[in-house]
Amino acid sequence: MKTLGNILWHFPFLGFLSALYTLIIGLIFTITVVGAPIGLGMIQHSKFLLTPFSKRMISDSKLNEDKSTLWKILSVIAFIIYLPFGILASIVTVIQICLLFISIVGIPVALVLAKSLSTYFNPIGKVCIDSEVVDELNKRKAKEKADKILN
């Protein structure tokens, strides 16, 4: 079913163009030093847009990846600069989602946009990984919480 969703995302809805545009924007941001955290997040988002029904965007903090202090400071500065654009992109995306849910044909595209809404708002520190990996991470965290409660 995921494969069918990915095929429908690309051919009638031209999802590969969204992935290409996001990749180009990410590369432009990455060229500028201050926009590098945004650019890397946009590049990850373009990977997500290639197979949106098989992948998910999650925060890299959920993967326990440590970043240097300088990178964290640069990420905060980039987020402050990107915030107005992120708010605008999120509002436009919410409007698109609402309009796409009007027709049955637009629902798959609306689901893809809804899954990536937080990335439009803040692409910094987001990573594209397989849905199965995210499910396994969630199971492990739930098991840890259950063990804490039971012990």
Query: Taking residues 4-18, what's their average pLDDT?
Result: 84
134 vs 56: CA distance, rounded Å? 7
111 vs 117: CA distance, rounded Å? 10
The pLDDT value recorded for residue 5 is 83
How does 25-57 read in b/e, with b if 16+ C-beta sit within 10 Å? bbeebbeeeebbbbbbbbbbbbbbbbbbbebbb
Q: Which helix (H) or strand (E) holds 127?
A: strand 126-130
Query: Taking residues 104-110, what's their average pLDDT?
Result: 87
Spatial contact of 122 and 45, defined as CB atoms under 8 Å apart = no
87 vs 142: CA distance, rounded Å? 32
Note every long-range contact of 65-74, with CB atoms under 8 Å and residues 24 or more positions apart, other chains counting: 67/125, 71/37, 74/33, 74/34, 74/36, 74/37
Spatial contact of 104 and 12, defined as CB atoms under 8 Å apart = no
Tens digit of pLDDT for each residue in 77-106?
Answer: 999 999 999 999 899 999 999 998 998 888
Q: Name the phi and psi angles at 55, rounded to 5.
A: -125, 165
Spatial contact of 124 and 41, defined as CB atoms under 8 Å apart = yes
**Residue 105, token pair as written in the block:** 């044909």
Query: pTM for the full model?
Result: 0.85
**pLDDT at residue 13 greater than cutoff 90:** no
Q: What are the sequence ranges of the domains in the chain?
A: 2-150
The pLDDT value recorded for residue 23 is 94
Tens digit of pLDDT for each residue in 22-74?
Answer: 999 999 999 998 889 999 999 999 999 999 999 999 988 777 777 788 888 98
Spatial contact of 113 and 100, defined as CB atoms under 8 Å apart = yes
Max CA distance (Å), the chain: 53
The pLDDT value recorded for residue 95 is 94
